[in-house]
Copies of this chain bind each other. A is one copy, B any other.
Amino acid sequence: MTQATFNPDHWHVESVRVRYADTDRMGVVYHANYLVFFETCRSSLIRELYKSYLDIEADGYLLVVIEAGCHYRKSSDYEDVLNIYGRVSYFTETRIRFDYKAINRETNELIAEGFTEHCFKNQKGKPCRMPRDLFAILTEREIL
């Protein structure tokens, strides 16, 4: 098991603008929606790092969420633009963990931070190792 270093250059950024649909009657983003924002960043990060997650699925792999967590620091509201930062914080041959930070682009305030941990499954739904070339990419990034 290897712990990715905290070098900010390793963080990927993806912006989301808060939709009316994302808000709740408290006037702020409903807490579960941050996991969706994190997904937006993760998809984009995986695409940049390796290939589209759609292609990963086409290759016969599923990336299944096994744990997720989020700390909510400040609220965000309709029309806010959030920069969602994501990075691989940890991986083994069978697991990968992503960390995220949601930061208000205008005020620079930390809104939320969280993580998701995933395992790989094959088309039969059995846990399996990640694609070899993905493991090589992650390992190489770590050394650098």
**Could you tell me the distance between the alpha carbons of A66 and B75 in the complex, rounded to whole angstroms?**
10
CB of A19 within 8 A of chain B? yes
**Could you tell me the distance between the alpha carbons of A79 and B40 in the complex, rounded to whole angstroms?**
10
Q: For the complex, would chain A's binding face be called helix, strand, loop or mixed by DSSP majority? A: mixed
- A27→B30 contact, CB < 8 A: no
Scoring A residues 19 to 41 as 1 if CB is less than 8 Å from chain B, else 0, what string do you get? 11101111110111101100110
- B24→A36 contact, CB < 8 A: no
CB of A68 within 8 A of chain B? yes
Counting chain B CB atoms within 10 Å of each CB, the highest count among A31, A40, A67, A69 belongs to A31
Residues of B within 8 A of A25 (CB): 20, 23-28, 77-78
CB of A53 within 8 A of chain B? yes
- B23→A24 contact, CB < 8 A: yes
Q: What are 18 A-B contacts with C-beta separation under 8 Å?
A: A17-B40, A19-B36, A19-B39, A19-B40, A20-B30, A21-B24, A21-B32, A21-B36, A24-B24, A25-B26, A25-B77, A26-B62, A32-B68, A43-B79, A52-B79, A67-B69, A67-B72, A68-B69
The 6 closest A-B CB pairs, nearest first, are: A32-B35, A69-B69, A23-B25, A31-B65, A25-B27, A21-B36
A residues near B, CB below 8 A?
A: 17, 19-21, 23-28, 30-33, 35-36, 39-40, 43, 52-54, 62, 64-72, 75, 77-79, 116
